[in-house]
Structure 1
Amino acid sequence: MAAESGQRSLFGEILDWMLAPLLLIWPISVALTWLVAQGIAGKPYDRELGEMARTLGLQVASPAAAAAAGRKGRSQYALAPEAAALLRADETDTVYYQVLGLRGELLNGDAKLPMPPDEDPIVPWELHFRDDEVGHERVRVAYLWVSPEGMAGSSKTMLVQVAETLGKRGRLTNEIIKGVILPQFVILPLAVLLVWLALARGIAPLNELQRRIRSRESSDLSPIDEHRIPEEVAPLVRAINDLLARLDQSISSQKHFLADAAHQLKTPLAGLRTQAEFAQREIDEGRSEPAELKRSLQQIALSSQRAAHMVNQLLAMARAEDQEHAARRSEVNLAELAIETVRDFVPRAFDKRIDLGYEGPEQEQSGLSILGHPLLIRELIRNLVDNALLYTPAGGTVTVRVVEDPFGQVSVLQVEDSGPGVAEAEREQVFQPFYRALGTNVDGSGLGLAIVREIAQQHEAELTLDETRPRRPGQAEPDGQGPGARFTVRFSAHPLPNAEA
């Protein structure tokens, strides 16, 4: 299967990083080999050229050469036959020589041979080498200054230069380069092939892992076996296993949640159908009394209200579990939301003859804010107040309280009631979806407190449940009221920007 556009191959990435340095180093190796070969090829020929220059210098400085030059008016030196034969013995390269007298005049040889650089020190009998040109042809020059015999103390010297073209040197350099570079043309492709095979062998466990994962059923969320994978891939496999475990738990929770939701929705929907069929049967049989029809319609309205409330709670639960939705946070005035929620529930509390009140700073007096999602925080408060009103009997009290830390560290929300309370053994279970305390006839969805806990966890808030009035053995509750329940949520807080100092 071809890789998607823009997708990078791990095999190709590693191969590039291994071959790119190799291909970059190869031309550098060729250049260095050429330079080294030039030095190696030049050394023996430099020694030979230096011996020729030194031999010529010894002949020039000898008394016999000086006597011969004197007889000829020092116009030139006559080379000995063996010296001339030595200079012309090379059939491959052209050899040039030059002898300059004590005053720099040409005594013998080629006049076109250039002079040495002016900055070279004049040290008698010290041999020097340089690269130069004669008639646009590159040559290697060996030269030295000589003192004629009998003039050892004099500062005057004669210059002797011998030069040759670079034919032999070039051929030897090429032979050395061929001997070194040509095997590399065989070794380099072989090295690339070996690297390719080694990478293919190293990537094979990843291909096997990919095959094992692809062959799995979509419902198989069991951990991947970590014993048959390379050590370098083990952290990735462990991370995948952790993801699979969390995904399995999430799917199991969703299945359980959907099963409970379907079970809970069956009751109001069945009531709707029963009451509708009963009313239709009464009408068909001609026994429909206005009072009976009104009662059936009231039951239908009540069942539809329960179903709507259940759906709303399910949507609220989905919003609370939505990580991306909960991540969009802003500064929230907890006191402001609490006051608005209490106002919304006042008519319902009045109908049930429950004293619903608020304690805490007013909206303008609040000095702290919390960082959270306003809709979710409002949903949390609404569910706590709704739960308190459901379980508080007529004549009871429900109090919503906001307590602000004077040090500006936390902002605390409390909702307490005077209802029957929650037994200590059930305090963890009441936060489970669709759980209802035993012995109560309250008509609720069983999702309110589960939503509260989910929202609290999304906001890293601490949620606790205790009694409003702790039970004491043998002590009767006043006015038939229960110990009550108090839900406390502690949010991290910070001062409001416009709060008064």
Structure 2
Amino acid sequence: MPQTKSPRSLFGELLDWMLAPLLVIWPVGVLLTWGVAQDLARRPYDRELGAAAQGLADQVQMRRDAQQALSLSAESLSLMRIEDDDQVLFQVLGPRGELLAGDARLALPVGVAPHSGPPLLRNEQLQGEALRVATLWRRASTDRPGWITIQVAETTGKRQRMASDIVKGVLLPQFVLLPLAALLGWLALVQGLRPLKALSERIRHREADDLSPIPEREAPEEILPLVRATNELLARREQAAQLQQQFLANAAHQLKTPLAGLRTQAELAGRALRSGQASAAELAQSFAQIANGSQRAAHMVNQLLALARADASAPLALEPVDLVDLARDVTQDFVPQALERRIDLGFDGPESPQLAVQGQRWQLVELLRNLVDNALRYTPRGGEVTVRVSEDPFGQVVVLQVEDSGPGIAPEARERVFQPFYRQLGTGVDGSGLGLTIAGQIAERHGTRIELDDARERRGPDTLPGARFTLRLPATPWPGGPGREA
């Protein structure tokens, strides 16, 4: 059984984003602090070590036999000790590298030629112990070549202790400050998210049918876009609920008439049969009226179901649809009805190339069937209805048109004809008033709309301008390339 993923906590994520940088930066800060502490601890002791080497160099004297001699006074020896808790070593080498005084274990600096100047400071290892060494050179004499090398070294114990004291002085307060910062961050998040929690509580305690907008003044600025989007959704849901209630009321009212007629005709036929006074012709007429009424009721129910399907909120399963083939098939289906009404029903479209669009085939069929049915209903006997499929000159749009020679639709009524149960007065046409509503909603689901205008110019009161319904859909390449399937 698959486990459902638990919802993410906004509080936890914000707290993580606050604490994670601290946990990452803190070790880096420790390393940087240790480096700075080492430098701070090294500087004063390096100055003392350099001064000791300089003082030792000042004790070197030239004797008359051209040999160097080293005499150390009590003051110089005190300088050499520097600190009692660190070991101090020194070394004096003659021009030929001979040991004049001190410890022979101290190594010379590598890759550095003798020169005059300030002491050279470096780190060394002696028998596994770290040393800090100061080296300087003095010329043997003014008239003889060669350099005297003077080195003073000390262990680094006091340096490390001083660096550790600096690090402790910096880091120990942080062990108190970091938990305190985490606690303050936690409290700040609790306080900052309190308005969001209060808002969610108010929404949770709403009634199921309460679709009123959420007051924006009660929401923090950061979630205003979410509140506004929610209010837009609530407004759409409220509008949909109102439309649904209106639709159900209209549907009940519209179905009441044919059902009442069926009941009346059935009662009259039954009464006539019981009395035995009705002729066969009268009974046949009553049964014919019952059949017509039931047919109208069934037609209305089918259109109500089609309207519900067209108004569904599920996304369309789009596929390439050959609009030429679809329009030709729908036109052929209405040929018997057109012949019965003596209407010239024609199809105008290309013969061989396919004009494909992205859509849902059954919905496009339903759209066209309603347009053709509407045209046949409003076209007088002897009139014309034409279904036309064409392509715009640039090949980007496929145009579907249904044109009739009926009375047309006045410009001020062209928006209302797509509303449920709307019918033009004075036409005497029987219908449910849902066909154009279904067609309009299917067009909207396909990202377009149905355009309505006159089929021909209005030249006088006796001229029937007709109506032209136009649907434009983006063209799409047919799978497998151009050409008709066999």
Conservation of the 8 A alpha-carbon contact between 1:400 and 1:415: yes
Equivalent residue for 1:464? 452
Match of 1:480 in 2: none
Equivalent positions of 1:341-420 (< 5 A) are: 341-352=330-341, 354-364=342-352, 368-408=355-395, 410-420=397-407
State the secondary structure of the residue aligned to 1:123. Answer: coil
1:104 to partner: Cα distance: 1.0
Contact 2:350 2:390 (8 Å CA) reproduced = no
Q: What TM-score results when the alignment is normalised by the length of structure 1?
A: 0.85
Question: Which stretch of the first structure deviates more once superposed, 46-55 or 324-333?
Answer: 324-333
Q: Secondary structure at the match of 1:224?
A: coil
**What TM-score results when the alignment is normalised by the length of structure 2?**
0.87
Measured at CA, do residues 311 and 92 of structure 1 come closer, stay the same or move farther in structure 2, by a change above 3 Å?
same
Separation of aligned partners in 2, 1:297 and 1:164: 125
The residue aligned with 1:191 is 181
Q: How many angstroms apart in 1 are the aligned matches of 2:164 and 2:309?
A: 79
1:143 aligns with 2:135: yes
Q: Which residue of 2 aligns with 1:429?
A: 416
* Residues in 2 aligned to 1:290 and 1:16: alpha-carbon distance in whole angstroms: 89
Query: How far has the Cα of 1:440 moved from its partner?
Result: 3.7
- CA separation in 2, counterparts of 1:418 and 1:47? 110
Aligned pair in 2 of structure 1 residues 409, 86: CA closer, same or farther (>3 Å)? closer
Conserved in 1, the CA contact under 8 Å of 2:343 and 2:376? no
Q: Does 1:128 align with 2:128?
A: no
Aligned counterparts of 1:485 and 1:143: Cα–Cα separation in 2: 111
Q: Percent sequence identity over matched residues?
A: 51
Q: What is the one-letter code of the residue matched to 1:42?
A: R
Contact 2:331–2:347 (8 Å) recurs in 1? no
- Paired residue secondary structure (1:196): helix
Q: What's the CA shift string for 1:264-284, capped at 9, x where partnerless? A: 222333344444555566666
Could you give the per-residue CA deviations for residues 176-233 of structure 1, whole angstroms, max 9, x where no partner exists?
A: 1111111111121222222222222222222222222222222222222222322222
In the alignment, which residue of structure 1 is the partner of 2:482? 498
CA-to-partner distance for each residue in 1:33-53, whole Å, 9 max, x for gaps? 111111111222222222222
SS in 1 for 2:91: strand
Paired position in structure 2 for 1:242 = 232
Mean CA deviation greater in 320-329 or 249-258: 320-329
5+ residue gaps, structure 1: 478-482
Aligned with 1:259: secondary structure? Answer: helix
Going from structure 1 to structure 2, the CA distance change for 1:330 and 1:319 (only over 3 Å counts) comes to farther
Amino acid at match of 2:363: L
Specify the code of the residue in structure 1 equivalent to 2:436: L
> Could you report, residue by residue, the CA deviation over 1:29-72 in whole angstroms, capped at 9, with x for unpaired residues?
1111111111111222222222222222111x224xx46996xx
d(CA) in 1 for partners of 2:410, 2:138: 121
Shift of residue 489, structure 1, vs aligned partner: 0.5
* Aligned residue number for residue 46 of structure 2: 46
Residue 104 of structure 1 aligns with an amino acid whose one-letter code is G
CA distance in 1, matches of 2:221, 2:144: 83
* 1:173 is the counterpart of 2:157: no
Deviations 1:392-417 (A, max 9, x none): 34444433344554454554444344
Matches within 5 A, 1:88-127: 88=81, 90-117=83-110, 119-124=111-116, 126-127=118-119
- Further displaced range: 415-424 or 231-240: 415-424
CA positional deviation for 1:388: 2.4
CA distance in 2, matches of 1:350, 1:318: 31
Is the CA contact (8 Å cut-off) linking 1:456 and 1:462 kept in structure 2? yes
Q: String of CA shifts for 1:67-91, please: whole Å, max 9, x gaps.
A: 6996xxx7x8554444334434632
Tell whether the 8 Å contact from 2:214 to 2:231 is kept in structure 1 after alignment. yes
* Residue identity opposite 2:28 in structure 1: I
Offset from partner CA, 1:294-326 (integer Å, 9 cap, x none): 555444433332222112212222233235454
2-structure distance, mates of 1:410, 1:116: 86
- Deviates most, 134-143 or 317-326: 317-326
Deviation string for 1:94-116 (max 9, x for gaps)?
A: 11122222211122222222222
CA contact (8 A) 1:125 1:146 kept: no
Amino acid of the residue matched to residue 348 of structure 1? Q
Match of 2:302 in 1: 312
Q: Secondary structure at the match of 1:201?
A: helix
Q: In the superposition, relative to structure 1, how do residues 330 and 323 fare at CA in structure 2: closer, same or farther (>3 Å)?
A: farther
Number of paired residues?
Answer: 477
Is structure 2 residue 263 aligned with structure 1 residue 269? no
Could you tell me which of 142, 161, 174 is aligned with 1:152? 142
Q: 2:211 aligns with which of 189, 202, 221?
A: 221
Provide the residue aligned with 2:77 in structure 1.
Answer: 84
RMSD value, Cα: 3.1
Q: 1:97 to 1:251 in 2, by over 3 A?
A: same
| In structure 1, distance between residues paired with 2:403 and 2:157 | 107
Change beyond 3 A, Cα 1:326–1:319: farther
Inter-partner Cα distance in structure 1 for 2:328 and 2:98: 118
The alignment partner of 1:62 has SS state of strand
Following the alignment from structure 2 to structure 1, what is the Cα–Cα distance between the partners of residues 438 and 351?
A: 25
Judging changes above 3 Å, is the alpha-carbon distance between structure 1 residues 444 and 19 closer, same or farther for their aligned structure 2 residues? same
Q: Are 1:130 and 1:141, in contact at CA under 8 Å, matched by a contact in 2? A: yes
SS of equivalent to 1:227: helix
Quote the Cα distance in structure 1 between the aligned partners of 2:395 and 2:115.
92
One-letter code aligned to 2:345: G
Question: Structure 2 matches for 1:249-264, cutoff 5 A?
Answer: 249-264=239-254
Runs of 5+ unmatched residues, structure 2: none
What are the equivalent positions in structure 2 for 1:294-305 lying under 5 Å apart? Answer: 294-305=284-295
Which residue identity is paired with 2:44?
Answer: P
Amino acid at match of 2:426: G
Secondary structure of the structure 2 residue equivalent to 1:434:
coil
Contact kept in structure 2, 1:453 and 1:463, CA below 8 Å? no
1:158 CA drift (Å)? 1.6
